[in-house]
Amino acid sequence: MSSRDEILARVRQNQPEPRPLPSVPMFDVGLPTSIDTFKTNLNRMGGKVVDPPADGDLDALIWELFPDVRVVCSATPEVKGNLSIDTIRSPQELNDVDVGVVRALFGVAETGSLWLSEAQYKVNALGFLSQHLVVLLDPGAIVANMHQAYQHQGFVEAKYAVFMTGPSATADIEGILIHGAQGIRTMTVIPVSAR
Amino acid sequence: MKRIDHAEASSKFIKAKDHLDFHDQRLWDLRKKRDRESESIPEWQELRSLASAIKEHTLTHLADFLEEFERNAAANGVKVHWAKDASEHNQIVLQILESRRARTLVKAKSMLTDECEMRPFLENRGIEVIETDLGERIQQLDDEPPSHIVVPAVHKLRTDVSRVFAATIGTDAKNSDVHYLAESQRQHTRPYFLKADAGMIGANFAVAETGTVVVCTNEGNADLSMLLPKLQIASIGIEKMIPRVEHLAVFIRMLSRNALGSPITQLTSHFRVPREGTEMHIVLVDNGRSERLGMADFWYSLKCIRCGACMNTCPVYRRSGGLSYGATYSGPIGVIIDPTFNLRKYSALPFASTLNGSCTSVCPVRINIHEQIYKWRQVIAERHQLPFVKKEAMQIAGKVFGSPKLYRAAVEALGASVEHLPRFMLYNPLNAWGRQREVPPAPASTFRHWYLKNRTKEGERK
């Protein structure tokens, strides 16, 4: 008997009496989906929200926010940057990116989380090898809580999907919180409607 | 197999006063943060019940869900393997790596691979294994197992980390600044991410409906381990199954709130289909789980989502440190899991508890942890696994507590003895309780004396 069949047989034999599967409520009555709630919760997780530029020039805003950086790599046509994600052949090439730019598909107000997948990133490592990440978010594309978020079809379609909530972080030494563990050091969200 | 002596091992931990105090405070702080977060969610208790019911449903239909998961993962282009035990798991991982001539493996934290003792197995066969989680890396470099399932190096102070890093990755031995130490590990680890032939993760959840592997992390290391190398491996205990994507909401809403007191982990990552031009393997591991499923009293422990809250709240764990349990899983959850791996070796662990029930009350999936601890004590007593001293003491205690007359005589004698007996009589090897504690001063009169003096037979005030 293969290990597979042996394990399954033993599991079948040892399974306790069946118990029912409960249905899960949405717990979303009266919950806010505003950018303000999103912002409050993202701030708690170490991310920040920056107002969009009055003149609509996102590139100028990003260079202004990060004056000392060399490489800005954008995965969204709304920002040009100076390195096109389309030229990237292997994810390792993104290691010298200072600022990655991407548009999230949607946000979650409850936690300040952003939903991203390979459809947004093109090369997923952009969200991890970059030193800083700028995320565009349509303020109209915010769901109330995780129950709503997990209804999204993206989880069935995407190869890789991630909720990012602020920068990478660690508190493994004496509980001292450090932003910029192995991935991005800062996360900046700019609320801009999707065209 | 040598029996783990928890009391003896904790005595070493207790001797280092500054470590003990910090450990106790740090974990209690996590507990307080957890309380604040959970109290901010009105449906918290309902979420616990839902999480428990979803897990119980899954475990009582586990074979079907495992088959569904396997089917969907295979359809996603993932190769699924099955491992009966730790040794088969390690062999499978080695074969996968060797089939692609992979020499360097970057990995995220996984209690399962610790349970299987995979790292030394691979290292002895020429594979370079890099733990990429900061806490886990500290423990790897110090050649120690993790002492906590969520915060692996919580028993260390910054000066300990500084000593370990100076000796291994070349940091300045005089610098124990926490930012400096963390940044040094980041700089040291990044090249490994870039050059690794293979990457590895564990799993927090595995979704049967979609074949998705879900990991909840903060550092970004799990994603880097999976998104850079051409070869990816996920090792998953068979109890990690959940039926559908929508069920993730229940667990994700509770996991980090209960573990660290943060609303969510910085990253909640879902791996379903391998990236183009790369391959992904999943190893489903039993290693005693299917057997535990058949234990009428103890199968509930398989609901555990490894948040560590029971450890943070446990007064014994906080004052003895995870390493004193001598097992992969420590604290209250370890106490009820470890004996299923080896009853004799871990027979002392169920006694490392005050049975205060705090673990049960913070458990997000409503495992009756303290009741299981009590039941393990019964099993151990029945199978004669009690150490001699404990058995003798318990038999005497049983007789004394069973007879009101003997009990009263003992209490009165004890009251007198605490004041008048020389220390060596009180703090002797037969009195395990007195080893790390001072016996409190005896009250001037016993409760019974006070009661007889102040109350009538009917319980009225005199």
- Phi then psi for residue B215, to 5 deg, are -125, 140
Statement to judge: residues B63 and B193 lie in one domain: yes
The stretch B165-172 carries a mean pLDDT of 98
The reply to whether B221 touches chain A by the CB within 8 Å rule is: yes
Chain B nearest CA to A15, separation (Å): 5
Cβ neighbours, 10 Å, residue B34: 24
For the entire predicted model, the pTM comes to 0.91
The reply to whether B301 touches chain A by the CB within 8 Å rule is: no
Statement to judge: residues B21 and B142 lie in one domain: no
Interchain proximity B63–A146, CB inside 8 Å: no
Which ipTM was obtained for this model? 0.98
Where in the sequence is the domain holding B424, given as residue range(s)?
A: 388-454
- pLDDT of the residue at B125: 98
- Distance, in Å, from the CA atom of A182 to the CA atom of B286, rounded to the nearest integer, reads 31
Number of independent structural domains in chain B: 3
- pLDDT of the residue at B426: 56
Lowest mean pLDDT among B76-80, B329-333, B402-406: B402-406
- Within 8 A of B299 by CB-CB distance, chain A residues are 14, 16
Interchain proximity A92–B228, CB inside 8 Å: yes
| Whether the predicted pLDDT of B421 surpasses 80 | no
Asked if residue B161 belongs to a domain, the reply is yes
Residues found in chain B:
462
- pLDDT of the residue at B320: 96
Asked if residue B365 belongs to a domain, the reply is yes
Chain B nearest CA to A78, separation (Å): 25
| Whether the predicted pLDDT of B422 surpasses 60 | no
- pLDDT of the residue at B139: 98
The reply to whether B91 touches chain A by the CB within 8 Å rule is: no
Asked if residue B343 belongs to a domain, the reply is yes
- pLDDT of the residue at B395: 73
Tokens at A131, concatenated: 């030193």
The reply to whether A63 touches chain B by the CB within 8 Å rule is: no
The reply to whether A67 touches chain B by the CB within 8 Å rule is: no
Asked if residue B345 belongs to a domain, the reply is yes
Q: Tell me which residue of B223, B244, B236, B221 sits closest to B282, measured CA to CA.
A: B236
Domains belonging to chain A, first-starting first, are: 29-191 (3.40.50.10420)
Q: With cut-offs at 50, 70 and 90, classify the pLDDT of residue B452.
A: confident
pLDDT digits (tens, 9 = 90+) for A4-63: 999 999 999 999 999 999 999 999 999 999 999 999 999 999 999 999 999 999 999 999
- Within 8 A of A166 by CB-CB distance, chain B residues are 266
Preferred mutation among B68, B89, B267 to probe A, highest tally of A CBs within 10 A: B267
pLDDT digits (tens, 9 = 90+) for A72-106: 999 999 999 999 999 999 999 999 999 999 999 99
pLDDT digits (tens, 9 = 90+) for B134-163: 999 999 999 999 999 999 999 999 999 999
Which residues have C-beta within 8 Å of that of residue B253, sequence separation ≥ 6? A110, A145, A146, B41, B47, B264
Asked if residue B299 belongs to a domain, the reply is no
Asked if residue B81 belongs to a domain, the reply is yes
Statement to judge: residues B212 and B316 lie in one domain: no
- Phi then psi for residue A158, to 5 deg, are -75, 145
Which residues have C-beta within 8 Å of that of residue B367, sequence separation ≥ 6? B52, B300, B301, B303, B304, B333, B336, B360
- Within 8 A of B294 by CB-CB distance, chain A residues are 10, 13-14
Q: Tell me which residue of B150, B305, B216 sits closest to A163, measured CA to CA.
A: B216
pLDDT digits (tens, 9 = 90+) for B185-199: 999 999 999 999 999
Chain B nearest CA to A191, separation (Å): 20
- Within 8 A of A172 by CB-CB distance, chain B residues are 133-135, 138, 151-154, 182
Tokens at B460, concatenated: 């009225």
Cβ neighbours, 10 Å, residue A106: 18
- Within 8 A of B138 by CB-CB distance, chain A residues are 172-173
Chain A nearest CA to B105, separation (Å): 16
* Residue B196, SS3 per DSSP: coil
Cβ neighbours, 10 Å, residue B42: 9
Interchain proximity B60–A174, CB inside 8 Å: no
- pLDDT of the residue at A3: 98
- pLDDT of the residue at B178: 98
The reply to whether B186 touches chain A by the CB within 8 Å rule is: yes
Specify the CATH number for the domain of residue B154: 3.40.50.10420
Statement to judge: residues B162 and B81 lie in one domain: yes
**Domain boundary pick from B349, B371, B386:** B386
* Residue B320, SS3 per DSSP: helix
The reply to whether B210 touches chain A by the CB within 8 Å rule is: yes
Average pLDDT, chain B: 92
